[in-house]
Amino acid sequence: MVEAGMEVRAPEGRAQAAGTRLMPGEPGRRLMIDRLLALLAEQGEISEETRQTLSRDALLSSADRHPLVMIAERKLKGLKPPHAMLDVDWLCQWLAGQIGWRHVRIDPLKVDFSRIGEVMSKAYANRYRILPLEVTPDSVTIATAEPYLTAEWVAELSHTLRRRVMPVLASPLELQRYLAEFFDLAGTIRSAQRNGQTAVQNNFEQLVELGRNGRHFDANDQHIVTVVDWLWQYAFEQRASDIHLEPRRDLGVVRFRIDGLLNNVYQVPPGVMSAMTSRIKLLGRMDVVEKRRPQDGRIKTRAGDGHEIELRLSTLPTAFGEKLVMRVFDPEVLSRNFAQLGLQGEDLARWQDMTGRPNGIVLVTGPTGSGKTTTLYATLRALATEAVNVSTIEDPIEMVENSFNQMQVQPAIDLGFADGIRALMRQDPDIIMVGEIRDLETA
């Protein structure tokens, strides 16, 4: 049975052959690079010369790194078809096949890391380099990159938790990253909740709790600042197109839209959710006090690699408080070409045939965040030569292009899509891109 919160990958033809005595490790000891290299050479994935070279280099190296990472850093290709790159992911799948374990890819969107603290402390997890992935009333699934060092902690946790402990193999790089990230975020949420006690919210729930007094969380509280910063960076890494902060009766829900689908990411107490919303509204120069009317705003921030990203904010009053949606606009995404979008072969030929005709209309439709604007910009950049006049009317202009004539919708002066189209028709256009068809007149 596939456990929730992980992606299980079975090794492809890597099971240990019958009669093979060489194993990649010994009980009670860490994985040994000499054993791993010898097994790879025995199975024909690397040459004997490569094995000797890597073994010699490993002896000379003083770095304390996981042996799978050390092998992957050499960027070797397997000698056996299909000559796969021997990266950490491939090596983990291969190792899982040798020892009869399941290999998992840690998917943060499916791990309820708010429950990690129920299973073990951060110090215990760091001691054994393990990470709980799923907690149920009967069992706990725990990831490790050291399959021969499980006896001690499996016995301890089984006795303490009185549940079945199921170890699985995961990438040492993923464990190194998520160990700190998940435990730190869970601790930050708990600290923010303790500092704020019970927050009074401007919603229908107040009618029931008028007799209870409590103070609001401070939007500038360091814990709240940390949670918001983490939320943004995590969303950028996961390629989220939208971030939703949705208040609920008991726990607020944080959701990301990825590839057109919404995914639950985390649950936070209502008071923390309210403070996060206030913090983001403050940065977006919105009225923090006004919670009865919808508001719009924008924030410019930077991703982990330093490039600039813009967030478009929209709030909506709901029964349980303010709902906040942040639309992520990444200029680097909009500048992708057809190859980077995965549009190729017959699909690309059909698309270029449709968009290259001298007349007609092409409708690009799809759910939010599915890549409509990215596809349109890539197409217009390919069509906008010196001999072609490309004009657009957008709301908003998501990225300024030198080769386009771009017009911004301005409701304040009654300049809508229909008015813009009429004006563009008098500008000798070859191609017009209309951002949205909102009404019958525009259509």
Chain segment 387-415, per-residue pLDDT in tens: 889 999 988 787 778 888 999 888 888 88
Q: How far apart are CA 319 and CA 281, in angstroms?
A: 19
Following DSSP, what letter does each residue of 104-154 receive, concatenated?
Answer: EEE-GGG--GGGHHHH--HHHHHHHTEEEEEE-SSEEEEEES-GGG-HHHH
pLDDT at site 12: 40
Q: Rounded to 5 degrees, what angle do the CA atoms 269, 271, 275 make?
A: 120
Question: Residue 227 in contact with residue 185, Cβ under 8 Å?
Answer: yes
Chain segment 216-262, per-residue pLDDT in tens: 455 666 677 877 888 888 888 888 889 999 999 888 899 999 877 88
Lowest pLDDT segment from 46-60, 176-190, 367-381, 404-418: 176-190
Say if 355 falls within a structural domain: yes
- Same domain assignment for residues 298 and 267: yes
- Same domain assignment for residues 159 and 260: no
pLDDT at site 19: 43
Strand 139-144 with 130-135, pairing: antiparallel
pLDDT at site 184: 67
Say if 288 falls within a structural domain: yes
- Same domain assignment for residues 45 and 110: yes
- Same domain assignment for residues 263 and 359: no
- Same domain assignment for residues 167 and 23: yes
Chain segment 197-226, per-residue pLDDT in tens: 444 333 333 322 322 333 345 566 667 787
- Same domain assignment for residues 415 and 304: no
Given a cut of 80, whether residue 45 has pLDDT beyond it is yes
Say if 183 falls within a structural domain: no
Count up the domains in the chain and report the number: 3
Q: How far apart are CA 355 and CA 343, in angstroms?
A: 14
Say if 185 falls within a structural domain: no
- The CATH number assigned to the domain holding 220 equals 3.30.450.90
Distances 392 to 329, 334, 343 between C-alpha atoms, Å? 18, 15, 23
Say if 318 falls within a structural domain: yes
- The CATH number assigned to the domain holding 360 equals 3.40.50.300
Mean pLDDT of 119-126: 85
pLDDT at site 179: 82
Percentage, residues of the chain above pLDDT 90: 20
- Same domain assignment for residues 21 and 145: yes
Domain that holds residue 387: 333-434
- Same domain assignment for residues 323 and 350: no
